[in-house]
Amino acid sequence: MRAGRWLCIGALALVACRQASTKAPQQKATSMISDLEAAKLVNELGPRYAPPDKPALVPSDDAIRVMADFRDGDTFAPVAGAETLYYGLSYEVHADANSYENYFFCRIKPSGDGLVGFATNLKTDGWQEDGDARDIAKRLRKGDALPPSPAVKYMRSTEPDSGWFPLTATDGKSKALAAPSPLWLRQNGNRLLIVQKLPTQSPSRATPFEAAGRYAELWRVP
């Protein structure tokens, strides 16, 4: 899915952006969203391709790690009174067992008496864009200062095609962005963890793969 596109020309940052949201048109939540069965999803995602003590071999290995951290995480506590940008990586695991790594960002802001937000992939085009996006993710993970970045400028300013969705409580530990395809949020340490379900059926599988989903770990952009 293509959610953001920004273009750097030459040594100067001349940015042109195009976004296509992964979400359907905005609608108001009418009932409380059920929380994820986090422990069950951890089991359904496994086993890892890499040995337990080794780095991930494929994105689905990272998805298992993120889902385990989500299971053990805390209720997400958004920054009060300010719009906040979070950025990092998502690991998509599809029903056909293929998995992919993507850049991913989330923005949350006050609206009326509550909060609204959206979360979506960031699509890069070319080595300059990819280098900037990867460098920012690496710096956030390490807690380093950020240089000027066309990616960050774009993520702070773009508007989602499908609008902003309410940040609501669930019947469990998670909060959720109440989109037609909800996104569940928890925090673990300094990371915002987001899980979004993907279609569970594939022509190559006889039975649905209930753990098909997008598993993202993001850091707050200062």
Residue spans of alpha helices (H) in 109-199? 127-142, 150-157
Residue-wise over 42-76: b if at least 16 C-beta within 10 A, else e? Answer: bebbeebeeeeeeebebbbbbbbbbbbbbbebeeb
Pairing relationship of beta strands 99-111 and 84-93 according to DSSP bridges:
antiparallel
pLDDT at 25: 43
- Whole-angstrom Cα distance, residue 43 to residue 33? 22
When pLDDT is averaged across residues 36-54 and rounded to a whole number, the result is 93
Residue-wise over 92-101: b if at least 16 C-beta within 10 A, else e? Answer: bbbbeeebee
In this model, does residue 115 exceed pLDDT 80? Answer: yes
Pairing relationship of beta strands 191-197 and 183-188 according to DSSP bridges:
antiparallel
User: Quick one: pLDDT band at residue 8, thresholds 50, 70, 90?
Assistant: very low
In this model, does residue 11 exceed pLDDT 90? Answer: no
pLDDT at 1: 36
Q: pLDDT tens across 116-174, in order? A: 999 999 999 999 999 999 999 999 999 999 999 999 999 999 999 889 999 999 999 99
Q: pLDDT tens across 59-68, in order? A: 999 999 999 9
pLDDT at 24: 41
